[in-house]
Amino acid sequence: MRPLRFALAQGLLLSPALEAVRAIGLETPDRAADDRRLVVRAGAIDFVFARPSDIATYVERGAADLGIVGQDVLMESATRVLDLVDLGFGSCRFVVAAPTSALERSLDEYRHLGSLEVATKYPRVAREHFERRGIPVEIVKVAGSVEVAPRVGLADWIVDLVATGATLRANELSVVEEIATCTARLVANPTSFHARRAEIEPIVERLAGRTAVVAS
């Protein structure tokens, strides 16, 4: 049987994810900042380093048994993985935002104004949110800085992931409403979880216990 594979997102979540893994007694890879290796053995585990948006796919398809991924990725991708532990770090918010000058209208008023154009990098999250609210929207998918869309006439509003909201304010946007608060999650491939439960369950329990201690 191959070593257990643990996928970690490169970027902002990597440092706190490695810290959490070390805190529960697992060996972690010794990687320099310029290290280009994407699969690194540490102890009995192969750590797989990938783009944040790909972690859930690696786990869903069994290329990795475990992963640490932002809840925003799970919401947008709708991958079939086991969401095992809310790790508590990497907190951010999915929000609906609009030009500050347009906020004299409430969100409910837009039900009567026809289709609202909404720019976002997260079309699934945006579409499902407005469907729940009963507001018809046209989703405009963008890959880059979504905050510019209302200023150049690409869309009326945006749905985006924010941490402090500073970029919104710098672009004269204000939060209309919050869709969800997202944190980093420990996820597992369902087949791996059952087949390798003896290896995986202690990791789950220790990470859950650490999170509870940190939260208190």
Report percent pLDDT > 70 for the chain.
91
CATH topology of domain 92-181: D-Maltodextrin-Binding Protein; domain 2 (3.40.190)
State residue 54's pLDDT score. Answer: 95
Yes or no: say if 48 and 37 are a contact pair by the CB < 8 Å rule. Answer: no
Q: Is the pLDDT of residue 189 over 90?
A: yes
CATH 3.40.190.10 intervals, the chain: 4-90+183-215, 92-181
Q: Quick one: average pLDDT of 97-120?
A: 74
| Cα torsion 149, 155, 156, 158: sign | negative
What mean pLDDT value characterizes the chain? 90
Q: pLDDT tens across 202-211, in order?
A: 999 999 998 8
Q: Is the pLDDT of residue 182 over 80?
A: yes
Q: Is the pLDDT of residue 108 over 70?
A: no
State residue 80's pLDDT score. Answer: 95
Q: Quick one: average pLDDT of 46-75?
A: 96
3-state secondary structure of 110: helix
Q: Angle at which helices 197-215 and 14-23 pack, to 10 degrees?
A: 100
Domain 4-90+183-215 classified CATH 3.40.190.10? Answer: yes
Q: pLDDT tens across 123-152, in order?
A: 999 999 999 988 889 999 999 889 999 999
Shortest CA distance to 11 belongs to which of 190, 161, 125, 126?
161
State residue 215's pLDDT score. Answer: 65
State residue 1's pLDDT score. Answer: 81
Predicted TM-score (pTM) of the model is: 0.87
